[in-house]
Amino acid sequence: MAPPPLLRLDGVRLTFGGTPLLAGVELNVLPGDRIALVGRNGSGKSTLLKIAAGQIEPDGGEVFRQPQATIRYLPQEPDFGTAETVGAYVAAGLGPGDDAYRVTFLVEALGLNESQRTADLSGGEARRAALARVLAPEPDILLLDEPTNHLDLPTIEWLEGEIASMKSALVTISHDRRFLQNTTRATVWLDRGTARRLEEGFASFEGWRDKVLEEEERNLQKLDRKIVREEHWLRYGVTARRTRNERRLAQLHAMRAERKNTRRAVGTVEMTMGETAQSGKLVIEAKGIAKSYGERTLVRDFSTRILRGDRVGLVGPNGIGKTTLLKMLVGVLEPDAGTIRIGANVDLSFLDQKRAALRDDVSVSEALTDGRGDQVMVNGEPRHVAGYLKDFLFQPEQIRTPVGNLSGGERARLLLAKTLATPANLLVLDEPTNDLDMETLDLLQELIAAYPGTVILVSHDRDFLDRTVTSTIAPDTDGRWIEYAGGYSDMLSQRRDETKAAKPAASASKAPPPAAKPASAATKLSYKQKYALETLPGRIEALEKSIAKLEGELADPALFSKNAARFAKASEELENARADLAAAEDEWLELEMLRADLEG
């Protein structure tokens, strides 16, 4: 006999304006469930999660929450309320009897400090603090809305492991396919106001969805043909008994009403790329480039040749130097050593992960055209902004909407529309997957595959990288970067092969006795190593912030004359922080390579 549900939504309805957003949705969450909640942007996923969490009251239907069950909800934008420090904010998520040590463990594991002021947190730090708060009590149900946004790869993989170790039921929304594949065992598809459930994880969802839509389209075509036949019979058929005619007329009216009320699947984004003249065969050539800030070396002796048509991905933890390397490659930043050569006739279009190209105080139309009329040039042809924006699922009435009123997904689509309208043959995408739904991601992947120019992208989305790039540049040790053929999975495989190949040589030179190390040590990370691997990315980020702050303080030319003691102390602190950062980066890279080898 199945256990009673921890959470049940039965016939939930909600309408904002005209068309119902939720029209009789059902959702059951049993103990141990791991559910992916999927659907297009605007389908009501976040709203349904808020209803489940008790933050929104539906217009109708029943919401049951088991009285003793604990529920924790992660919103897309955390609200710190009156909590002044990270420790206070995370501890506020605990319930009576919860283990307070979990606060310290999770805050440190996520690279934060309990004494950090919430007002000073970056977007990524705020996201990690919110994650620590919902994970700390190990609740009966975790409701997570885009938990991987603003997280780097090591943190995403840590989160997958933490979820796997917990007994909590899970309902999660995410655009990260690999995360959903690794964490879910059932899928709820929210589509046109209703929910369908597949008792399999996300890996099986897309094939199942396509079959459902194909069957739905066949049924609509059958209904259309039946309506045509009935209309023909009424107009031209032999006159029969009056009651029979009235009955068939009523049936025809019913079929017409059914056809009228059928909501077709939401349209797809139509992407076209503004084209310019073809670049030369050589797009970028880097020879022995290097970049340091103080004593910290971000890039050391890196060389590459990027040719027309290449798709190059940059990966690595936050703060490792991806943006620095990217800016040097495209000529925005001068290297300290080495040379950068940009090929002939290269036109660049850049998509910024911070959405810096969008101002909140202008309308959608003005953001797209930079205030120059109501037309945009795409492939040399003028198009009205309403028609072009419709390709990106914007409604005509939205063209006058202020950018500041758009959702995260709408802002992402607007910036994508603006970037793709810019004539270019070198497309640079910095975290392009943030806030995009899966259908839009699919089309972006197809566009990159068909794009005649060259693409360089930075991403933490493993599946997106595997589907799009032809080579992957990843950090090694001490500021060194290595380029691998293929996507993210290919890069990991090649690193494992390199580590295995290096082991026999190391064994021959050192000739350790066979019993020098227990067999278990060669099959998994120790607790200490695992904990270090989880916490080092956050420590690296904290050290970088501390270094930047100290460098800013020491840049004041009057500091020494005003306060010589403080100058000396700050100089010493800066030197120590740089040494700690170098050591932390070396340790993380060694452990990450060891982990990849052991998992292989």
Amino acid occupying residue 101 = Y
First to last CA, the chain: 40
Query: 251 versus 499: which is more confidently predicted?
Result: 499
Q: Please state, in angstroms and rounded to a whole number, the distance separating the CA atoms of residues 117 and 454.
A: 42
Quote the pLDDT of residue 329.
94
Quote the pLDDT of residue 360.
83
Quote the pLDDT of residue 514.
42
Amino acid occupying residue 496 = R
Mind giving me the DSSP string for 134-190?
A: HHTT--SEEEEESTTTT--HHHHHHHHHHHHH---EEEEE-S-HHHHHHH-SEEEEE
Query: 515 versus 10: which is more confidently predicted?
Result: 10
Q: Please state, in angstroms and rounded to a whole number, the distance separating the CA atoms of residues 455 and 448.
A: 7
pLDDT tens-digit readout, 348-381: 888 766 655 678 888 988 888 888 888 887 766 7
CB 280 within 8 A of CB 344: yes
pLDDT mean over 577-600:
75
Length of the chain, in residues:
600
Q: Please state, in angstroms and rounded to a whole number, the distance separating the CA atoms of residues 189 and 212.
A: 11
Query: 430 versus 483: which is more confidently predicted?
Result: 483
pLDDT mean over 330-346:
92
Query: 389 versus 407: which is more confidently predicted?
Result: 389
Q: Please state, in angstroms and rounded to a whole number, the distance separating the CA atoms of residues 544 and 551.
A: 10
Amino acid occupying residue 51 = I
In eight-state DSSP terms, residue 114 is T
pLDDT tens-digit readout, 126-161: 999 999 999 999 999 999 999 998 888 889 999 999
Query: 503 versus 86: which is more confidently predicted?
Result: 86
Quote the pLDDT of residue 379.
66
- Give the pLDDT band of residue 502 (cuts 50, 70, 90): low
Three-class DSSP category at 127: helix
Q: Please state, in angstroms and rounded to a whole number, the distance separating the CA atoms of residues 394 and 439.
A: 15
Find, among 24, 22, 10, the residue nearest to 65 by Cα: 10
Q: Is the pLDDT reported for residue 243 higher than 80?
A: no
Residue 377 φ/ψ, nearest 5 degrees: -90, 125
Three-class DSSP category at 393: coil
Query: 546 versus 199: which is more confidently predicted?
Result: 199
- Residue 166: both structure tokens together: 């917990």
**In 46-58, which positions are buried (b, 16+ CB within 10 angstroms) versus exposed (e)?**
bbbbbbbbeeeeb
- Give the pLDDT band of residue 539 (cuts 50, 70, 90): confident
Q: Please state, in angstroms and rounded to a whole number, the distance separating the CA atoms of residues 428 and 168.
A: 40
Q: Is the pLDDT reported for residue 428 higher than 80?
A: yes
Quote the pLDDT of residue 579.
75
Domain annotation for the chain: domains and CATH numbers? 7-69+140-206 (3.40.50.300), 282-490 (3.40.50.300), 516-599 (1.10.287.380)
Determine which helix (DSSP H) or strand (DSSP E) holds 342, and give its type and residue range. Answer: strand 337-342
Q: How many CA atoms within 13 Å lie on the side-chain side of 298?
A: 21
- Residue 363: both structure tokens together: 């309308």
Task: Count the helices and strands in the chain (H runs, E runs).
Answer: 18, 20
pLDDT tens-digit readout, 49-81: 999 999 999 999 999 999 999 999 999 888 898
Quote the pLDDT of residue 166.
93
Three-class DSSP category at 197: strand
- Please say whether the dihedral angle defined by the alpha carbons of residues 384, 387, 389 and 391, taken in this order, is positive or negative: negative
CB 67 within 8 A of CB 31: no
Q: Please state, in angstroms and rounded to a whole number, the distance separating the CA atoms of residues 531 and 527.
A: 6
Q: Is the pLDDT reported for residue 244 higher than 60?
A: no
Q: Please state, in angstroms and rounded to a whole number, the distance separating the CA atoms of residues 37 and 571.
A: 51
Three-class DSSP category at 516: coil
Q: Please state, in angstroms and rounded to a whole number, the distance separating the CA atoms of residues 563 and 583.
A: 30
Beta partners for 164?
A: none
Highest mean pLDDT pick, 202-216, 303-317, 546-560? 303-317
Q: Is the pLDDT reported for residue 40 higher than 70?
A: yes
- As annotated, the binding site includes 39-46, 316-323
Q: Please state, in angstroms and rounded to a whole number, the distance separating the CA atoms of residues 587 and 532.
A: 8
pLDDT tens-digit readout, 90-107: 999 998 889 999 999 999
Three-class DSSP category at 12: strand
Instruction: Give the helix, strand, coil percentages of the chain, each rounded to 5.
Output: 45, 20, 35
Query: 447 versus 72: which is more confidently predicted?
Result: 72
- Residue 489: both structure tokens together: 């999975």
Contacts of 585 (CB under 8 A, 6+ apart): 320, 477, 478, 540
Mind giving me the DSSP string for 401-430?
A: SBGGGS-HHHHHHHHHHHHHHS--SEEEEE
pLDDT mean over 316-343:
91
**Average pLDDT over the chain, rounded to whole?**
82
Three-class DSSP category at 222: helix
pLDDT mean over 527-541:
75
Quote the pLDDT of residue 522.
45
Q: Is the pLDDT reported for residue 29 higher than 90?
A: yes
Q: How many CA atoms within 13 Å lie on the side-chain side of 129?
A: 29
Q: Please state, in angstroms and rounded to a whole number, the distance separating the CA atoms of residues 374 and 386.
A: 8
- Give the pLDDT band of residue 412 (cuts 50, 70, 90): confident
- Give the pLDDT band of residue 338 (cuts 50, 70, 90): very high
Q: What is the model's pTM?
A: 0.68
- Around Cβ 245, how many Cβ atoms within 10 Å? 14
CB 348 within 8 A of CB 428: yes
**What Cα–Cα distance (Å) separates residue 137 from each residue in 51, 151, 184?**
21, 21, 21
Three-class DSSP category at 69: coil
Q: Is the pLDDT reported for residue 465 higher than 80?
A: yes
- Give the pLDDT band of residue 516 (cuts 50, 70, 90): very low
- Give the pLDDT band of residue 319 (cuts 50, 70, 90): confident
Amino acid occupying residue 258 = E
- Give me Rg for the CA atoms of the chain: 28
Quote the pLDDT of residue 178.
93
- Give the pLDDT band of residue 48 (cuts 50, 70, 90): very high
- As annotated, the binding site for ATP includes 39-46, 316-323
Q: Please state, in angstroms and rounded to a whole number, the distance separating the CA atoms of residues 172 and 174.
A: 6
Quote the pLDDT of residue 554.
79
- How are beta strands 481-485 and 7-15 bridged, if at all? unpaired
Find, among 203, 202, 192, 159, the residue nearest to 38 by Cα: 202
Three-class DSSP category at 577: helix
Report the share of the chain in percent with pLDDT over 70. Answer: 84
- Give the pLDDT band of residue 218 (cuts 50, 70, 90): confident
Q: Is the pLDDT reported for residue 211 higher than 80?
A: yes
Three-class DSSP category at 11: strand
Q: Is the pLDDT reported for residue 302 higher than 50?
A: yes
- Residue 589: both structure tokens together: 């890279």
pLDDT mean over 567-574:
79
- Residue 286: both structure tokens together: 């880097």
